[in-house]
């Protein structure tokens, strides 16, 4: 996967994708922007303009299955997104566009567009890796989300409190045998439960990773 732009959204997106096992290359014209990634970032860092074909080639665009354009410029984002889609045939392409009117135009051209930092991070994660975890509700400020988790079978028999501690989320409710259930801390997660959590936007990807893997024994 290739991410263009290493601002707050780009750095958060690249970090989230690498944490769940994706190979990521990130592009920025300012080399100092890569400091946001931290020293442990394992991906490729490419200095240059994201709509420059040589830069895209160095980032591995020809073998990429997804491309996210999240720089601070609408023009740069849409030009690079269209290059990725039309020139290199990248299957999943998303662009960050600040101008709502222009965003609507590009949506009609088949290029998903998104905005705001925390909401953008979640939307890009879902668009790029096609997560099955569906965000059902978001507060008007975009700060808090409620999402359904896909829970690994090893969580069955564990309590709601254990999942909350491990994931940093709050279990809002369960659907069990088709009926809603407001859980207590001691409520045990059962096979067949649909688990819905409340969490800060921008953290859904990490929470999904925790829930989708076996519990880590302390």
Domain boundary among 106, 129, 152: 129
Q: Tell me the pLDDT tens digit for each residue of 3-29.
A: 999 998 899 889 888 888 889 999 999
Q: Which residue range is the domain that position 204 belongs to? A: 135-211
Burial tier of 117 (Cβ tally within 10 Å: 0-12, 13-18, 19+): middle
Residue 161, domain member (yes or no): yes
Could you tell me the CATH number of the domain that includes residue 196?
Answer: 3.30.70.1450
* 104 shares a domain with 159: no
* 23 shares a domain with 112: yes
* 156 shares a domain with 107: no
Q: What is the pLDDT of residue 55?
A: 95
**What residue ranges of the chain have pLDDT lower than 70?**
100-110, 112-136, 138-142, 218
Residue 190, domain member (yes or no): yes
Indicate the pTM of the whole model: 0.55
């Amino acid at each position: 996967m290739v991410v263009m732009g290493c601002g707050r959204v780009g750095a958060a997106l690249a970090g989230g994708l690498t944490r769940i096992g994706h190979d990521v290359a990130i592009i920025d014209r300012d080399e100092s922007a890569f400091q946001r990634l931290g020293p442990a970032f394992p991906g490729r860092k490419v200095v240059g303009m994201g709509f420059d074909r040589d830069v895209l080639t160095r980032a591995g665009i020809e073998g990429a299955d997804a491309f996210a354009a999240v720089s601070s410029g609408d023009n740069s984002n849409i030009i690079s997104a269209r290059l990725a889609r039309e020139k290199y045939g990248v299957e999943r392409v998303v662009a960050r566009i600040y101008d709502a009117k222009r965003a609507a135009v590009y949506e009609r051209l088949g290029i998903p567009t998104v905005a705001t930092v925390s909401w953008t991070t979640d939307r890009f994660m879902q668009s790029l890796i096609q997560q099955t975890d569906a965000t059902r509700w978001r507060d008007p400020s975009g700060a808090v989300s409620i999402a359904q988790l896909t829970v690994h079978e090893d969580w069955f028999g564990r309590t709601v409190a254990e999942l909350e501690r491990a994931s940093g989320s709050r279990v809002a409710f369960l659907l069990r045998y088709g009926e809603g259930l407001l859980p207590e801390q001691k409520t045990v997660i059962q096979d067949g439960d649909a688990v819905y959590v409340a969490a800060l936007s921008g953290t859904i990807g990490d929470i999904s990773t925790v829930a989708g893997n076996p519990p880590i024994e302390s």
